[in-house]
Amino acid sequence: MKSALAHLMKEKGVTAYQIEKTLGISEGAVRGWLKGNIPRADHLMKIADMLEVEPRSLITGTTPVNNETQLLLDRIAEFCHGYPKGVVTLSKVLDLFIATYTKEKNEL
């Protein structure tokens, strides 16, 4: 929770004060969470809504993967296991995809 919450707060530009006021909790509660204390479930849900993330990501520090993404990851892992030289090819394809996506995103 500690590093995940701190990272997400910084990324979203949300302060401890804002979270405390939104949740109506005492001053310093968020500092306690940043030190490793776990918030109540209802607070966890509200924080996740406020930071626009899945509640699980506040605890694990990871972003949950949807079914389509997991299927793709599984297929890539299977391919790379069966064809190690294919990793270089996949890396090049991903680099091209990321470059194209970034360019299109910046043009919007």
27: CATH: 1.10.260.40
Tell whether the torsion through CA atoms of 28, 29, 34 and 37 is positive or negative: positive
Same domain, 42 and 79: no
Give the pLDDT score at 65. Answer: 62
**pLDDT tens digits for range 45-83:** 999 889 888 887 787 777 666 677 778 878 888 887 777
Domain span at residue 25 reads: 2-60
Same domain, 53 and 13: yes
Whether 64 and 57 have beta carbons less than 8 Å apart is answered as yes
**pLDDT tens digits for range 7-50:** 888 888 999 999 999 999 988 889 988 888 888 889 989 998 89
Query: pTM of this prediction?
Result: 0.54
